[in-house]
Amino acid sequence: MSQFIDNLLNQAREFLHKITKGSQTYLLLYTYALIALPFFVFHEWHLPAHYIAALAVFALITGLLLTYGTLYAIQEYWNNPYHPLIEIIVGVIFLFSLWLSEVFHFRAGKVFFFFIAVFLLLIRTLKIDFYAKLCLAAILIMANGLLSFRALQGMEILSSYILFKNKFDFEELDLNSWKQNGDSYWNENLKIGFKLTEEFSFYQPKDLSLEQKTGAGQIAGLIASSDIDPNQYPFIRMFYFPSYIPFDKSLAAKEVGEYLKIQVSRQEIEDVQEISPEEKALPNIGSGYWTFYDSLRPRYAKTGFVLLETPTGDKILMHITENLEKGKTHEPGIESVLSSFRFGDFTEGNE
């Protein structure tokens, strides 16, 4: 038995030496691929098989290229410490990875960068070789991780958007034609309008990112409590369906439920529980709500939908995310916006 194990290990060593050609770089790249690929597949498990395969391959190739570049730069700097060109390139890559990851949007991120920059300048000025090499390797590995994650995240957002968009085939309207009159908004194509209080802002479809547009139907606009960040809730995303597309309460619940599953798989939310409050803020043909724990903003919140039908027979799916108000269907701001919705022709009364 012992001889069998020894022979097996020897064959494994020979095979490993053959495929890596004795190179430590190739060995590290193969190790990275073996560890990363199962993680990528598991991370995208909520998507259809062909999406999983495409995303996993894309993420793996991106990661391998970044890892190879990282190892090459570390090796060159190790042999030629304080090389200005290498330091400039690494610095630019590090700054780009922090910017792309939106680290500078937060005060803690700016403070983190300040201390890192001061420490690196100190090491560079004192010319402590070992720590200079170690620091360059550390920030390259950090940049590699951030860029790999953002690349995977970007492809995941794109694939989720395409996945929902391709479910319903219909001719889209130009829904960037909202007219504003003071605090009132009206869309002639949809024949709907609403009023906003001072705490809310309205975003036209052209002002939204792919992630904010992701959902069943064609995005018609977004009402948010922030004039800077549309993702800050409470907010209402509106999706349009033409009259010839059969879309009812059960289908709306299914589509919103699938969207929540994607958020759970991204570890953005957890502990999703369905509730069934009666929607009384405005006439509707169906609604559904869930509570969830927001992992990004540690608190419990609520999300759900209200399905409306316009006088022309078109449907509007209103996807609502808001703070959880115990004993109330909606928090006051959302209640006020929903009750202000009007349907029909554009008249002074609808302004």
User: If you search the block for the tokens 């043909």, which residue do you land on?
Assistant: 285
> Around 309, how many Cα atoms within 13 Å sit in the side-chain half-sphere?
13
The length of the chain is: 351
Cβ within 8 Å of residue 36, ≥6 positions away: 59, 60, 63
Residue 277 tokens, joined? 């409050």
pLDDT band at 348 (very low <50, low <70, confident <90, very high): very low
Residues 198-250 have pLDDT tens digits of 889 999 999 999 889 998 889 999 999 888 888 888 899 999 999 888 888 89
Separation in Å, CA 101 to CA 109, 147, 150, 151, 273: 10, 8, 7, 10, 31
Average pLDDT over residues 54-63: 84
Separation between Cα atoms, residue 146 and residue 94, nearest integer Å: 9
Q: What is the pTM of this model?
A: 0.76
Residues 239-265 have pLDDT tens digits of 999 988 888 889 998 999 888 888 888
Give the chain's radius of gyration (CA, Å): 26
Complete DSSP assignment for 30-67:
HHHHHHHHHHHHHHTTTS-HHHHHHHHHHHHHHHHHHH
Q: Is 256 helix (H, G, I), strand (E, B) or coil?
A: helix
Separation between Cα atoms, residue 153 and residue 59, nearest integer Å: 9
Give the pLDDT score at 2: 63
Tell me the CATH number for domain 178-350.
Answer: 2.60.120.1690
Residue 45 tokens, joined? 């498990």
For residue 113, pLDDT beyond 80: yes
Return the amino acid letter for 16. Answer: L
CATH 2.60.120.1690 placement within the chain = 178-350
**Cβ contact 316:239 at 8 Å:** yes
Question: Could you tell me which residues are beta bridge partners of residue 291?
Answer: 273, 302
Average pLDDT over residues 59-68: 86
pLDDT band at 323 (very low <50, low <70, confident <90, very high): confident
Average pLDDT over residues 291-301: 85
Which stretches of 221-307 are DSSP H helices?
A: 249-265
Cβ within 8 Å of residue 293, ≥6 positions away: 269, 270, 271, 299, 300, 301
For residue 299, pLDDT beyond 50: yes
Average pLDDT over residues 167-195: 87
